Amino acid sequence: MDNKGFISLEYIFALFIIIIIASGMLFFTQASLSSSFNIDDSVSHRLILDGVANQISQVNSNGVGYSKVIKLPSDNGYYELKIERNKLIMEYDDKKGETLLPLANIKSKDTLISGKSYMITKTDDGLVIT
C-alpha cells in the first residue's frame, strides 16, 4: 500500500501467487496422507495373509495327524480368505491379494472369515480345515 491507501498491483499479484502455492501444497499433503493410510492398510492385510499361509505350511510340513488352531484377527475390519487348491486369496474392501501355498494338498475350497477360529489338520488325504 502506498501512503494514499491504495494497494499496488505487485502486492495483489504476490498475494495471488502465495494463495495458489498454499492451495497446491495443501492438496499435495492431503494426497500423500491418503496414500500413506492406504499403504498401511494394505501392509496389515498382507501380513495377515502371509501369517495364515505360514500356519498352513507348518501344518503341511508335519506328519499325519498334526493339527493347529488359528484365530483370524478382526481388528483390521472384515475380510475373507479363500483357499483354492494351492492358493490363498484375501478379499477386503474391493481389494484382493493372493499367495501360493506350495505343496499344500487341499481338496476342498474353503472360505475363512475374519474374527473366527479354525483348526487345520493334516490327514492322509491332505489338509482339512474345520
C-alpha cell read off for 4: 494514499
Strand order in the sheet with 126-129: 67-71, 117-123, 126-129
C-alpha cell read off for 62: 508335519
Q: Mean pLDDT across the chain, nearest whole number?
A: 87
**Residue written as grid cell 472369515:** 113
Question: Cβ distance 122 to 74 under 8 Å?
Answer: no
**Residue written as grid cell 478379499:** 91
pTM: 0.73
Q: What is the pLDDT of residues 6-46, one digit of tens each?
A: 678 888 899 999 999 999 999 999 988 888 888 888 899 99
Q: How many CB atoms lie within 10 A of CB 55?
A: 15
pLDDT of residue 6: 66
Would you kindly state where each structural domain of the chain is located, as residue ranges? Answer: 9-129
pLDDT of residue 3: 65
Of 2-6, 65-69, 85-89, the poorest mean pLDDT is in: 2-6
Sequence-ordered alpha helix ranges (H) in 6-118: 9-61
Q: How confident is the model at residue 1 (pLDDT cuts 50, 70, 90)?
A: low
Tell me the three state secondary structure of residue 123. Answer: strand
